[in-house]
């Protein structure tokens, strides 16, 4: 499989880009890999890059977007931060990726058993981590069940994963609200913004469609 070129990127649509990621994740789950020469892709991308998707995911060592979607060099922009939330810098990076570099799809990828989500659920405090986790706490508050405070913590795996899903949705809401550039591109059909969850137990990605 060759690295994407300006010509192949131009053939990509938001739906086709999504299908590429779905097929890549299916290969990953089946322990298969597309036949690609990474060193050849280094050479092919030395004069430019033409990725088709931008993926915002967590720093979790088990959730590498290139691996779980079986993509090569030059295929995706990968934005990683604990808890996969957005701020001004990340939104600016996404605007560059879509408006200037031509990607057709933004995926906000949460995952099960997320440590950052657990920290927010437990109101953890540690140096700069305290301020970072405050960005995730709106998702904790937005998940109403269970109401029993003794069950709203990292020991309740169902609650943690529900907060992770809510965090993905609230992140997408923030992209729409805080980036007119990306919001307008989506309204015009130039890009798609979609959420997804990665299951660390199975390797499967479930898209919110």
Q: For 154-180, what is each residue's pLDDT tens digit?
A: 999 999 999 999 999 999 999 999 999
pLDDT, mean over the chain: 95
- pLDDT surpasses 90 at 5: no
121 known member of a binding site: no
* pLDDT at residue number 38: 85
Annotated binding residue 98: no
Residue 77 banded pLDDT, cuts 50, 70, 90: very high
Residue 90: inside a domain, yes or no? yes
Q: Is residue 143 part of a domain?
A: yes
In a domain, 1, yes or no: no
**pLDDT above 90 (res 37):** no
Host domain of residue 28:
6-208
- Across residues 23-39, what is the average pLDDT? 92
Query: Do the annotations mark residue 114 as ligand-binding?
Result: yes
DSSP for 103-121, please give it: --EEEEEEETT-HHHHHHH
> Which structure tokens are listed for 62?
């088990």
Q: Residue for token digits 């998707």?
A: 53
* Residue 192 DSSP SS3: strand
Number of domains in the chain: 1
**Residues ≥6 apart with Cβ < 8 Å to 143:** 159, 162, 163, 166
Please state the pTM of the whole predicted model: 0.94
For position 44, what pLDDT does the model report? 80
| CATH number of the CATH domain containing 174 | 3.40.1050.10
What is the reported pLDDT for 36? Answer: 86
Which pLDDT score, from 0 to 100, does residue 39 have? 85
By mean pLDDT, which of 40-44, 57-61, 145-149, 205-209 is the weakest? 40-44
pLDDT over 70 for what percent of the chain? 100
Which H or E element spans position 197? Answer: strand 192-198
The annotation status of 111 as a binding-site residue, yes or no, is yes
Query: What's the pLDDT score for residue 26?
Result: 98
Long-range contacts at 11-18 (CB < 8 A, ≥ 24 apart):
12/52, 12/104, 13/104, 14/104, 14/105, 14/189, 14/190, 14/191, 14/192, 15/192, 16/104, 17/52, 17/53, 17/103, 17/104, 17/105, 17/192, 18/105, 18/192, 18/194, 18/207
């Amino acid at each position: 499989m060759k690295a994407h070129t300006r010509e192949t990127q131009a053939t990509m649509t938001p739906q086709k880009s999504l299908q590429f990621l779905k097929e890549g994740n299916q290969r990953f789950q089946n322990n298969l890999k597309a036949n690609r020469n990474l060193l050849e892709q280094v050479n092919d991308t030395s004069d430019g890059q033409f990725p088709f998707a931008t993926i915002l995911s967590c720093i979790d060592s088990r959730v590498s977007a290139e691996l779980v979607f079986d993509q090569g060099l030059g295929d995706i922009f990968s934005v990683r931060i604990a808890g996969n939330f957005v701020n001004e810098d990340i939104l600016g990076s996404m605007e560059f990726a879509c408006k200037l570099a031509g990607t057709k799809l933004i995926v906000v990828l949460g995952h099960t058993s997320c440590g950052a989500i657990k920290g927010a659920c437990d109101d953890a405090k540690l140096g700069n981590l305290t301020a970072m986790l405050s960005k995730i706490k709106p998702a904790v508050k937005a998940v109403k069940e269970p109401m029993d405070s003794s069950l709203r913590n990292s020991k309740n795996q169902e609650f943690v994963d529900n907060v992770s899903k809510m965090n993905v949705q609230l992140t997408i809401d923030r992209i729409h609200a805080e980036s007119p550039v990306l919001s307008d591109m989506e309204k015009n059909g130039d890009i798609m913004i979609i959420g997804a969850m990665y299951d660390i137990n199975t390797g499967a990605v479930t898209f919110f469609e």
